[in-house]
Amino acid sequence: MKWDDLRRSGNIEDMRSRGPARGMGGGRGSMRLLFPLAKMLIGTKIGRIVLVVGVVAYFMGFNPLALLDAPSAAPQSAQVNASPQDDESAAFVSAVLAQTEDVWNAQFAAAGASYREPKLVLFRQSVQSACGYADAQVGPFYCPVDQKVYLDLGFFDELSRRHGAPGDFAQAYVIAHEIGHHVQNLVGTLNKSHQAKQMARSSTQANAIQVNVELQADCYAGIWAHYVNAKGTILEPGDIQEALNAASAIGDDTLQKKAQGYVVPDAFTHGSSAERMEWFERGFQSGQLQACNTGA
């Protein structure tokens, strides 16, 4: 992929230098702030109720200071210096994100709508999002609550070394897939699927709904690749194959077989390798949203 001369996105939030997030954030600093508040609250009936709610919230994973409308201490993190290779990967992500902005702005405009560009957060090891705490093992993810994509650049090494899917366009496919979830959020697909999963009669049925969501995001990634390819100056020979290799490498059946030696289709949440490749290819060949009707 020829990306060096491409514009960079202004929607990158680089949190790599902050290092790994430490759980809920605030730590002892937050607790020190709670002591005088607790002493004040315990003196009144309403205050005691608020205090009880705060304690319950704490054990459920929420910051009590937020419930008390008090400022919380910043999450503790170690300072980390990025390597030149890491910085180059960050520049690549920014260039790919800019291309997704160009494509989806044009697609939404053609449909008479406005595309709201998402933020992409770069982090190391762990991060606190509006959807909760996550570490690098979760992999790249999209949070519909804050409309941000979260990416630990270490995943690209995993994609190449552990999953056998090297290449910059394999990485671009991963980014485009997560942006596909943002598109789904904007058009209401994620909310619809969330409601459907809540109504599901079994985990198998809920998983099937999620598979359709993920395959549609693969198809949307293919649509993005279709329009990038149409520019004629960005893709190189072998790029699309790199994306297909990545789609295959992270198919549920492939991952299950590698992890446990056998496949459990009812436990699929993203689709099989063949399905993921097929839906990416559909989007790439058509460039049309209508081609991405997975049932999501």
207-246 pLDDT, tens digit each? 999 999 999 999 999 999 999 999 999 999 999 999 999 9
Residue 32 structure tokens: 């020190």
pLDDT at 67 over 50: no
Instruction: Select from 67, 98, 127 the last residue of a domain.
Output: 67
Q: Which pLDDT score is estimated for 22?
A: 54
Decide if 20 is inside a domain.
no
Amino acid at 219: C
Terminal-residue alpha carbon distance, the chain:
31
Pairing of strands 132-135, 148-152: unpaired
Q: Which pLDDT score is estimated for 183?
A: 98
Q: Which pLDDT score is estimated for 101?
A: 98
Segments forming the whole domain that contains residue 263: 79-292
Q: 269 and 195 in contact (C-beta within 8 Å)?
A: no
- For 271-296, give the secondary structure using H, E and C: CCHHHHHHHHHHHHHHCCHHHHCCCC
Mean pLDDT score of the chain: 85
Same domain, 44 and 88: no
Q: Which pLDDT score is estimated for 137?
A: 87
What does the pLDDT look like over 261-294, one tens digit per residue? 999 999 999 999 999 999 999 999 999 999 999 9
- Helices marked H in the chain — which ranges? 27-41, 45-59, 64-67, 84-110, 154-161, 168-187, 189-199, 203-230, 239-249, 252-260, 273-286
Same domain, 54 and 179: no
Same domain, 58 and 93: no
Same domain, 259 and 114: yes
Decide if 15 is inside a domain.
no
Decide if 19 is inside a domain.
no
Average confidence (pLDDT) over 238-263: 97
pLDDT at 24 over 70: no
Judged on CB neighbours under 10 Å (0-12, 13-18, 19+), 293 is exposed
Decide if 265 is inside a domain.
yes
Same domain, 89 and 232: yes
Q: 6 and 228 in contact (C-beta within 8 Å)?
A: no
Q: How many domains does the chain have?
A: 2
What does the pLDDT look like over 112-170, one tens digit per residue? 999 999 999 999 889 999 999 998 888 999 999 999 999 999 999 999 999 999 999 99
Same domain, 275 and 223: yes
Q: Which pLDDT score is estimated for 18?
A: 74
Same domain, 42 and 179: no
Decide if 258 is inside a domain.
yes
Same domain, 63 and 84: no
Decide if 89 is inside a domain.
yes
Same domain, 231 and 281: yes
Residue 49's pLDDT band (cuts 50, 70, 90)? low
Residue 78's pLDDT band (cuts 50, 70, 90)? very low
Same domain, 43 and 157: no
Same domain, 39 and 167: no
Residue 199's pLDDT band (cuts 50, 70, 90)? very high
Decide if 279 is inside a domain.
yes
More confident residue, 50 or 160: 160
Same domain, 233 and 271: yes
3-state SS, residue 123: strand
Decide if 6 is inside a domain.
no
